[in-house]
Amino acid sequence: MKQESDIILALKPFLKVLDRLGISYYVGGSIASSTYGAFRATRDIDMVLNLNPTHIDELVHSLKNEYYIDRDMILDAIKHKISFNLIHLKTMFKIDVFLLKERAFDQEAFRRKKENKIEESDRLTVFCLSPEDIILHKLEWYKEGNFVSERQWQDVAGVLKVQGDQLDKNYMKKWAKEIGVLDLLEKALQEVQ
């Protein structure tokens, strides 16, 4: 699968630098939902980083030959608590980087991240959101997008169908109530039964 190979090519150098600098992360978005549910092609990689501003110069220096990366964009993202991105020059894969939020749910999801293989043949192991947390995040994105993103809804349904009884439904309901998506979770659970 060329799609997965491009993902791996785009991720490997970035993950190597994150590891060397001791920056913890997880992969989310459609890559994480594809890991637990139905595969969906994508041209970007969503990641959450627990980024310390003291790492920025070394991060930029270490990645500038393989990625388009902008130091000022990263500083602005930290200052305004927004995302930034980098682009892997060889594959043109975009990596959207979101900074870890202080919200209790985000902290818990970060703590619960799980190691997963993205592609069996290459055995690239990455930290991904847990299946429960990817469902909750996707429901939140679906709600924030005014309930129109069929892709988000299909990703949720795919993870629910594939993971089934392995999911911790009590955990999901607790946090769904906390972040305001309990009605959507219940609707999604009903639809996949």
With CA atoms as reference, report the closest residue to 181 among 159, 162, 161, 153: 153
Distance CA 53, CA 70 (A): 14
- If one compares 181 and 4, the residue with the highest pLDDT of the two is 181
CATH architecture observed for domain 2-128: 2-Layer Sandwich (3.30)
Distance CA 48, CA 83 (A): 9
Task: Give how far the C-alpha of residue 125 lies from the chain's centroid of Cα atoms, to the nearest Å.
Answer: 14
DSSP string, 43-106: SEEEEEE---GGGHHHHHHHHTTTEE--HHHHHHHHHHT--EEEEETTT--EEEEEEPP-SHHH
Residue 1's pLDDT is what?
37
Place of tokens 């299946």: 131
User: In this predicted model, what pLDDT tens digit does every residue of 34-73 receive, in sequence order?
Assistant: 888 877 777 789 999 999 999 999 999 999 999 999 999 9
Tokens standing for residue 169: 């439904």
Q: Is it the case that residue 121 has pLDDT exceeding 70? A: no
Tokens standing for residue 130: 């847990």
User: In this predicted model, what pLDDT tens digit does every residue of 124-144 receive, in sequence order?
Assistant: 889 999 999 999 999 999 999
Distance CA 170, CA 122 (A): 35
Counting residues of the chain whose pLDDT is more than 70, the rounded percentage is: 95
With CA atoms as reference, report the closest residue to 14 among 30, 1, 25, 28: 25
Residue 192's pLDDT is what?
87
Residue 4's pLDDT is what?
52
Residue 149's pLDDT is what?
79
Q: Whole-model pTM?
A: 0.89
Q: Boundaries of CATH 3.30.460 in the chain?
A: 2-128
Let me know: does 134 contact 116? Beta carbons within 8 Å: no
Distance CA 160, CA 135 (A): 8
- The alpha carbons of the chain give a radius of gyration, in whole angstroms, of 17
Distance CA 83, CA 176 (A): 23
Q: What is the mean pLDDT of the chain?
A: 91
CA distances from residue 66 to 42, 102, 149 in whole angstroms, order as listed = 20, 31, 32
